[in-house]
Chain A
Amino acid sequence: MPKDSGIGASTKRREDVRFLTGAGNYTDDINIHGQAYVHFLRADVAHATINSIDTSGAADMPGVLRIFTGADFEAVGGLPCGWQVTDKHGQPMQEPKHPVLAHGKIRHVGEPVCAVVAETYAQARDAAEEIVLDLTELPAMVDMKEAVKDGATKVHDDLTSNLCYDWGFVEENKDAVDEAIKNAAHVTTLELVNNRLVANPMEPRVAVGEYSRSDDMHTLHTTSQNPHVIRLLMGAFVLGIPEHKLRVVAPDVGGGFGTKIFHYAEEAFCTFAAKAVNRPVKWTSTRSEAFMSDAHGRDHVTKIELAMDADNNFTAIRTETYANMGAYLSTFAPSVPTWLHGTLMAGNYKTPLIYVNVKAVFTNTVPVDAYRGAGRPEATFQLERVIDKAARERGVDPIALRRQNFVTEFPYATPVAVEYDTGDYEATMAKLEEIADIGGFAARRAASEKNGKLRGLGVNCYIEACGIAPSNLVGQLGARAGLYDAATVRVNATGSISVMVGAHSHGQGHETSFPQVISEMIGIPEDQIDIVHGDTSKIPFGMGTYGSRSLAVCGSAMVRAAEKVINKAKKIAAHLLEASDADIELKNGQFTVAGTDKSVAWGDVTLAAYVPHNYPLEDIEPGLEETAFYDPANFTYPAGAYACEVEVDPDTGKVTIERFSAADDFGNIINPMIVSGQVHGGIAQGIGQALLENCSYDENGQLISASYMDYAMPRADDLPFYSVDHSCQTPCTHNPLGVKGCGEAGAIGSPPSVVNAVIDALQSGGKNVAHIDMPLTPSRVWAAMNNA
């Protein structure tokens, strides 16, 4: 019987009621008395010298309060980068300045150049039309390999070249890898592009800055996944505001997918301008602005070689990747192609030797940073594509080739610096074969062929690393932040509980699932427990939500804080029951003296804590509130196996997803309904990458996919019902809940199976197509078929 509450129950989400009735409180719903509006004049060329800016005509326009340019921010710090990568020669990456408003030069289309603050948004926008920019256009660097050639135009004049870093991992293994590839019985090589994407949460970014002269307090309301990270970065590195004078609030946030992790210029601007004009200042991004100012994702160009012995055992992997950084380093950009990508190159397989080379390149494009999966989809895609190609070249079954090379013993130390604690890749593959009905594929293919369609089956495995930690290790790897999280469990006098958490919920349902854990631990109803998140003035210093970390890291902090609360409550109960606290048991909200019928209810103990008339004041303090910070010992390693079945129309090249199945191992699960929802959404984004989405620049650096007219978002009729399963569970060994994280799996695990399926379909039709770069649009598939 499924449980109806606590850990493992599919509790309906409490947050849904406000979202379904229009009562959500998103940042754009916040309007502060007296607020002014800002419109940013954004660059419409990719690369130029700014000779002069004439704002005189605009300044006289109706309603204009003040116009800001880069000169206004000369005394202010630039937007910081939170991760410093060390290159293969032991040198730090090249790190350019990142001004709030462009100063001296424009480096990408969409870069904010001027900011007009006016009484209304329309007035600000009208006035911006009157600003005259005198620019000298410069050649735009768009292609990464062109950008790193000798003599290429530099994106940043003060850097030595457009190469941010040249990273080798593990550099000490390079010679052994080269040797193994030279001596291999077979080497499969694949060159591929991991296409640039735009995260596109449905809520565009918004920032509202406020300043209170009475107490010198700054407040920023913003669409962020991690308000404390924004407070730290913006306060300490950009504006010089001490943290006790800066409050950052991220209320309901309409999706993030990574792109709302980062600290953006508009947030710093609104906070700065609110004091400068002594008015609250609000900015609401249009979707067009979002396309050219939200950090983009992916954009890798990779060559991968997979070496095998005569028995098809993997012996070595060597990769070379060009990773686009865009024009500036976004907050965590340098970590994505390195520590979130190279460390995953072993995948689910026991390849003994691996060498990863990554060249990160500056171009005149929007900065690129983490997008759902962040480095791990890029690793998974190249690995699972090259394995499929190898199976074809060797004439072996692609599932059998994977099975043969699976890691089967845990813990397993990979040759790329990480240690998988638990997993069972055979179990998820067997589950996948069952739910995807792989045995029935041949009959389905025959039926498709009868209808004149080609049908293909693609399978892949994936592994991901979630809850990136511990802090002392990531510090050695270049992180400029800790990666712990924090929770405060505040028990109220009558027994209800408020839990203040550092994680932020923007679709993940924490307000429902986190209380399930506390309810399980204490035995009081879930509706007696509330989660408070998203406001630095209310919550402890946590690092927010990204990298599928909320439950594994912040949930662990919450468990630790709840354990402290329970330990103290047991002491109070022991006093009330005149027993030893070692003999007190807590079950179903009742404290009982073990082996007796003496008991006291949770609510009586909590009341005693706040009305301590009969209370051991000499031993313990009144009150019942505890905080815990949790810094994990290791990453968690969810893994799984995915299968996609497609039909390809041989006349048009159109690909239709007929079936999609996912068998995941997320360790223990708190709310299966929410977990399935996370996988569904990730799969849709992965299918979007594989078939539809492409962020595209022309040779002049013009963004030619900057609206939903041009950027193909997955729609309901592009997608099927999915079959997902997470019954294979190997609990994480190093966090108290045994959980692993599920937020990104779908986006990591799905693109290779889609492409593998299309290649399989084309091959079944006699087309000798080895690879097509994503997205597999009808024109690309048709061209590949007809050139084959």
Chain B
Amino acid sequence: MTSVSMTVNGKSVSGDVEGRTLLVDFLRNDLRLTGTHVGCDTSQCGACVVHVNGAAVKACAMFAVEADGADVATIEGQANADGSLNTIQQAFQDHHGLQCGFCTPGMVMSAAALLKDNPKPSEAEIREYLEGNICRCTGYHNIVKAIMAASGQDVTAIAAE
């Protein structure tokens, strides 16, 4: 077992992990931050996307020991300080960008990373960026629309509801 320490959602945390323990398992099983999900075992689905030192990372593709000393952000730390939904989260609710909710944490974390680098992405840029996030429920229509809305773009022309 190896001792690891990191900052998660602004709080210092530490734990003992096996060398093979994935970051996502450390978050879910040791820290009980179960908002980050596991939807596949080949780093394809993106349900486990978190931010490590500000970059979007698939937490199933990184060992916990690799995150030693890192600054990690998960879905549990995304809401505003008063507990209200942040702009991206609110846009997902307003535009019905989620159904079962399982891929949603990864979608929100990926969207946040995209908008940080590209504050007004086009539809095509959003679709390309979301290549690594699979949703089986929404057909992506309302996810793309929500991200466009979150970036301040007018989405009223995109098919209603």
Contacts and interface: CB of A to CB of B under 8 A. Distances in A.
Interface stretch (A108-116, A425-433, A694-702, A720-728): A720-728
A502 B103 CA distance: 25
Given A681-B139, A684-B139, A708-B45, A22 B100 contact: no
A257 interface: yes
Nearest to B9: A22
Interface in B97-112: 98-105, 108
A19 B143 CA distance: 14
A749 to B, nearest CB: 13
Interface in B31-59: 32-42, 44-45, 47
A766 B39 CA distance: 44
Contact of A20 (B108, B131, B142): B108
A676 interface: yes
Nearest to B101: A19
Given A676-B161, A685-B136, A201 B40 contact: no
Nearest to B83: A21
B158 A721 contact: yes
B144 A672 contact: no
Contact of B75 (A15, A22, A508): A22
B39 A203 contact: yes
B43 to A, nearest CB: 9
B159 A201 contact: no
B138 A677 contact: yes
Contacts of A680: 138-142
A715 B75 CA distance: 22
B99 A17 contact: no
A345 B120 CA distance: 48
Interface string A248-280: 000011110100000000000000000000000
Contacts of A13: 93, 96, 98
A383 B100 CA distance: 32
A713 B105 contact: no
B139 A21 contact: no
B100 to A, nearest CB: 3
A716 B75 contact: no
B66 interface: no
B62 to A, nearest CB: 17
B159 A721 contact: yes
A746 B39 CA distance: 24
A682 B134 CA distance: 15
A108 B129 CA distance: 38
B26 interface: no
A447 B127 CA distance: 24
B151 interface: no
Contacts of A714: 139-140
B93 A255 contact: no
B158 A507 contact: no
Contacts of B160: 676
Contacts of B98: 13, 16, 19-20
B13 interface: no
A509 B39 CA distance: 21
B154 interface: no
B96 A677 contact: yes
**Residue among B78, B89, B141 facing the most chain A CB atoms (10 A cut-off):** B141
Given A12-B93, A717-B128, A254 B100 contact: yes
A21 B92 contact: no
Contacts of A141: none
Interface stretch (A24-32, A310-318, A400-408, A594-602): A24-32
A203 B101 CA distance: 9
Tell which of B126, B138, B143 has the most Cβ of chain A within 10 Å.
B138
Given A22-B105, A716-B143, A722-B159, A287 B45 contact: yes
Given A13-B93, A16-B92, A20-B89, A202 B159 contact: no
Contacts of B144: 716, 721
Interface string B82-98: 00010001001110101
A204 interface: yes
Nearest to B155: A721
Nearest to A722: B141
B34 to A, nearest CB: 4
B108 to A, nearest CB: 6
Contacts of B124: 717
Interface residues of A, number: 62
B119 to A, nearest CB: 19
Contacts of B100: 19, 201-203, 252-255, 506-507
Contacts of A717: 124, 127-128, 130-131
Contacts of A708: 40, 42, 44-45, 134
A31 B30 CA distance: 11
A608 to B, nearest CB: 37
A673 interface: yes
Nearest to A675: B161
Nearest to B44: A708
A21 B99 contact: no
B37 to A, nearest CB: 7
Contacts of B20: 122
Interface range for B: 35 or more
Classify the interface of chain B: helix, strand, loop or mixed: loop
B130 A716 contact: yes
Nearest to A256: B100
A201 B35 contact: no
B159 A716 contact: no
A707 interface: yes
A333 B38 CA distance: 29
B158 A21 contact: no
Contact of B136 (A10, A287, A681): A681
Given A22-B76, A507-B137, A202 B34 contact: no
Given A20-B108, A23-B35, A287-B41, A254 B159 contact: no
A202 B103 contact: yes
A200 interface: yes
B135 interface: yes
Nearest to B135: A202
Contact of B47 (A15, A202, A508, A509): A202
A20 B99 contact: no
A681 to B, nearest CB: 5
A20 B92 contact: yes
A22 B35 contact: yes
Contacts of A528: none
A136 interface: no
Contacts of A254: 37, 39, 100-103
B145 to A, nearest CB: 8
Contacts of A255: 99-100, 102, 136-137
A781 interface: no
Given A19-B101, A674-B96, A681-B139, A707 B42 contact: yes
A709 interface: yes
A253 to B, nearest CB: 7
Contacts of A682: 139
Interface string B3-17: 000000000000000
A644 to B, nearest CB: 14
B130 to A, nearest CB: 4
Given A255-B102, A680-B142, A715-B130, A21 B35 contact: yes
Contacts of A286: 41
A683 B159 CA distance: 15
Contact of A257 (B35, B131, B136, B143): B136
Given A22-B34, A202-B103, A724-B159, 12 more contacts: A12-B94, A13-B98, A18-B101, A22-B78, A202-B39, A252-B100, A252-B101, A680-B142, A683-B139, A685-B139, A716-B126, A722-B141
19 contacts: A19-B100, A20-B85, A20-B93, A21-B35, A28-B28, A202-B47, A202-B134, A255-B136, A257-B136, A674-B96, A677-B137, A680-B138, A680-B142, A685-B139, A709-B42, A719-B139, A719-B140, A722-B159, A724-B161
What 10 pairs between A and B have smallest CB-CB spacing? A22-B35, A19-B101, A254-B102, A684-B139, A507-B100, A507-B99, A708-B44, A22-B75, A680-B139, A29-B34
